[in-house]
Amino acid sequence: MIGQIANRLILSVPVLFGVLLLGFLLLQLVPGDPAVVIAGPAAPPEVLDAIRQEMGLDQPVMVQFWNYLARVASGDMGRSLISNKTVLSELGGAIIPTVELMVACLFWSIPLGIGMGTVAAVKRGSIADRIVMALSVGGVSLPIFFICLLAIQFLGVYWPIFPFIGRGGPVWTYDGFMHIVLPAVSLGLIFIGPVARMTRSSVLEVLKLDHVRTARAKGLSERAVILRHALRNALIPVVTLVGLQAGYLLGGAIVTETIFSWPGIGRLAVGAILSSDFPVAQGTILVLALAFIVINLIVDVLYALLDPRVQG
């Protein structure tokens, strides 16, 4: 298991490198000149040239990238062109809200999705099954921004129950909790459908297996058969699915944070790109890539915990 994690980490180095390079190149395509951003649109050309030279922007792209890597490796990610704060402190302030949002989203959507999928599988063909399947198809086919807007429209404006702008503080405070409800619900909704469907089909598969028959032949109650012998095994593909959807989740988080003005990495990334704040934009790309790697590591660990055949 340790070896596996180490393996995964080693493999993630080239991935990280590739993501950074790609991000760097893509940012070159974004219209906007960092020198103009710093000096302002009215600055004379000599000043802009001087700034470019000082920042190394006159160098070839690959040299710039190499210099950037070298600086990141030494822990210096530069400063925001807009706020002049270090990128590290900008990222640091945004990571906690994003992690909070993700955890809040997964915290309710994964168990609910698994529960719905299990009920649907056990009561296959019933009304409950049909409702679950219809809801999950709906959840998959609605785009995330639309879900966010619906949530704001109904639970924020029409019935003004929950605030929908910004973060109210740490999640355990009343204000913090109320503020996170709408973004966490919206982001979670896109997750429930796939999780419920995967759980349903996985439980149905497992219920056909021989070891479930053995569990029944032991005299276990139907409840124990389903929870201990069907669901536990059925969760293995569900965990895989959640891992595969990590990118989807991160993408959804960017949209959700932007719509709800949630001060996380996603909103920071969008803001930085829109204002040509390249050091911050590049920093958020690095964080998102790392997040992807971490999620997959967690999935690996869960996988090994759920399935003893994986170890060894």
Q: Binding residues for another protein, per CB under 8 A?
A: 209-211, 213-221, 224, 228-229, 232-233, 306-309
Nearer to another protein, 33 or 307 (CB): 307
Beta bridge partners of 86: 79
Nearer to another protein, 123 or 232 (CB): 232
CB of 300 to another protein, least distance (A): 16
**Taking every pair of C-alpha atoms in the chain, what is the biggest distance, in angstroms?**
86
CB of 232 to another protein, least distance (A): 6
Nearer to another protein, 42 or 217 (CB): 217
CB of 197 to another protein, least distance (A): 22
The answer to whether 281 and 269 have CB atoms below 8 angstroms apart is yes
Nearer to another protein, 85 or 211 (CB): 211
Nearer to another protein, 224 or 301 (CB): 224
CB of 213 to another protein, least distance (A): 6
Ramachandran region of residue 209, left (φ > 0), alpha (ψ -120 to 50) or beta? beta
CB of 226 to another protein, least distance (A): 13
Nearer to another protein, 8 or 216 (CB): 216
- Which residues touch 238 (CB under 8 Å, ≥6 apart)? 114, 117, 195, 198, 199, 202
Alpha-carbon distance values, 248 to 88, 188, 191, 217 (Å): 25, 11, 9, 42
CB of 305 to another protein, least distance (A): 10
Beta bridge partners of 79: 86
The answer to whether 121 and 199 have CB atoms below 8 angstroms apart is yes
In degrees and rounded to multiples of 5, residue 118 shows phi and psi of -65, -45
